[in-house]
Amino acid sequence: MHELSIAMGIVEAALDEAKQRNLEVSAVHLRLGALSGVVKDALLFSYEVASRDTPLEGSSLVIEEVPVVVFCARCQQRRVLASVQSFTCPDCGAPAGDVLQGKELEVFALEVQHG
Amino acid sequence: MAEPRLVEVRRNVLKQNDVIARALRERFRAAGVFVVSLVSSPGSGKTTFLEKTLTELQPRYRVRALVGDLATDNDARRLARSRAPVKQITTGTLCHLEARMVESALLDWDLDQTDFLFIENVGNLVCPASYDLGENLRLVLMSVTEGEDKPQKYPTIFNSADVVVITKDDLARAVEFDGEAARRSIESVRPGIEIFRLSAKTGVGLQAYLDFLAERLSAQRALAHS
């Protein structure tokens, strides 16, 4: 279980960005790829712990789950995988291992309240 | 009621690790050392496999190893029997190695005097997947005693690997290991990946894997000098 250290990384990154922009953050928006190796529920719990006693205490973590997108060599198309257990093109069934998206672990936006 | 507003920042959470890993990879390339990391669940035979690898490569190559564990230096002591330089990285409570740990473990090692560097990760099929260590090749090990569907249970780590090594093949018959089912399971999460099936204990199947490593080392050096 490494979600706590990932959550600490998120808090650190968000605080750094917030400080640079002089923002008061109410929520941190994260893009989480299906192949990131991080479990959403464990991360949500860890975020609460990691943000405690920091300016982010009480803020929420909003997770956008990013599916795996592969390139199918047969169709010559980008395809969204139905499951990470099966790297085959959902359209033609050919094996498709060329991952274009799905490894994201990115603080993508900070949410602030308009004064 | 105040209107919430989104400020886009787009920042990779593992950026720090990735930056160190990139620097390590560049350092390895410049030194002409080929770096192989090993990941698996606990008890899959990583240390026996690595000990055998080091022993077999030793006469022809200069080899070194870093070995990660939560606690104890038992593995480093076992691997030292191969007479290759081995260093233990004790992670404490951390379930995986990070690039900075590799970086600091290498501080007093002269990589110019090295052909192969092996990095044995903490026994864990989940956490190591997220951390680039600057390696050239990531090997994931699964033993015949673990069940053929291991790749489907841990798709992320298998997908992040470059090679799968099926270990403890000497036990395959006793546990009725279905090689074809295992191959299908691996292929479904990582199509086209290189697979070796071997026994570090008897040595059966080991040569093909050792030849593969030697080829990859030559290929990398040819590329570095071109």
Using an 8 Å Cβ cutoff, are A86 and A63 in contact?
Answer: no
B143 belongs to a structural domain: yes
Beta-strand pair A60-66/B194-197: unpaired
A50's enclosing H/E stretch is helix A40-51
* Burial track A12-44 (b if 16+ CB lie within 10 A, e otherwise): bbbbebbeeeebebbbbbbbbbbbbbbbeeebb
pLDDT at B51 over 90: yes
B141 belongs to a structural domain: yes
Chain B residues 136-155 with CB within 8 Å of chain A: 152, 155
Contacts within 8 Å (CB) and 24+ apart, B174-180: B175/B144, B175/B145, B177/B144, B177/B145, B177/B148, B178/B148
Phi, psi of B48 (to 5 degrees): -60, -45
Name residue A98's beta-bridge partners: A71
Say what the pLDDT of residue A2 is: 86
Say what the pLDDT of residue B29 is: 93
Using the beta-carbon criterion (under 8 Å), do B4 and A114 form an inter-chain contact?
yes
Using the beta-carbon criterion (under 8 Å), do B4 and A2 form an inter-chain contact?
no
Using an 8 Å Cβ cutoff, are B64 and B105 in contact?
Answer: no
Say what the pLDDT of residue B79 is: 87
pLDDT at A85 over 60: yes
| Partner-chain residue, chosen from A26, A87, A107, that has the shortest CB–CB distance to B9 | A107
> What's the ipTM?
0.89
pLDDT at B93 over 90: no
Using the beta-carbon criterion (under 8 Å), do A35 and B156 form an inter-chain contact?
yes
Number of domains in chain B: 1
CA angle B5–A110–A56, rounded 5-degree value: 115
Query: What percentage of chain A carries pLDDT values higher than 90?
Result: 94
Using the beta-carbon criterion (under 8 Å), do B5 and A113 form an inter-chain contact?
yes
Query: What percentage of chain B carries pLDDT values higher than 70?
Result: 99
B7 belongs to a structural domain: no
CATH number of the domain residue B184 falls in: 3.40.50.300
B80 has a chain A CB within 8 A of its CB: no
Using the beta-carbon criterion (under 8 Å), do B5 and A115 form an inter-chain contact?
no
CATH number of the domain residue A21 falls in: 3.30.2320.80
Using the beta-carbon criterion (under 8 Å), do B11 and A86 form an inter-chain contact?
no
B192 has a chain A CB within 8 A of its CB: yes
Using the beta-carbon criterion (under 8 Å), do B96 and A2 form an inter-chain contact?
yes
Residues of A in contact with B160 (CB under 8 A): 35, 37
Which range marks the domain in which residue B129 is found? 16-217
The C-alpha atoms of residue B179 and residue A63 are separated, in whole angstroms, by 39
Encode pLDDT of B97-123 as tens digits: 999 999 999 999 989 999 999 999 999
B156 belongs to a structural domain: yes
Read off the pLDDT band of B78 (50, 70, 90).
Answer: confident
- Mean pLDDT over A40-57 rounds to 96
Candidates B11, B138, B183, partner chain A, best to mutate (most A CBs within 10 A): B11
- Mean pLDDT over B129-150 rounds to 96
Query: Closest-CA residue in chain A for B12?
Result: A106
Read off the pLDDT band of A84 (50, 70, 90).
Answer: very high
Query: Closest-CA residue in chain A for B3?
Result: A114
- Mean pLDDT over A6-30 rounds to 96
A·B CB contacts under 8 A: 110
CA distance A102 to chain B (A): 10
CA distance A28 to chain B (A): 9
The C-alpha atoms of residue B159 and residue B163 are separated, in whole angstroms, by 10
Using the beta-carbon criterion (under 8 Å), do B7 and A86 form an inter-chain contact?
no
Query: What percentage of chain B carries pLDDT values higher than 90?
Result: 82
Rounded to the nearest integer, the mean pLDDT of chain B is 94
Which range marks the domain in which residue A25 is found? 3-112
B3 belongs to a structural domain: no
* Other CB atoms within 10 A of residue B147 CB: 16
Encode pLDDT of B52-70 as tens digits: 999 999 999 999 999 998 8
CA distance B58 to chain A (A): 35
Say what the pLDDT of residue B73 is: 86
Say what the pLDDT of residue B1 is: 58
Using the beta-carbon criterion (under 8 Å), do B130 and A36 form an inter-chain contact?
yes
B174 belongs to a structural domain: yes
Read off the pLDDT band of A115 (50, 70, 90).
Answer: low
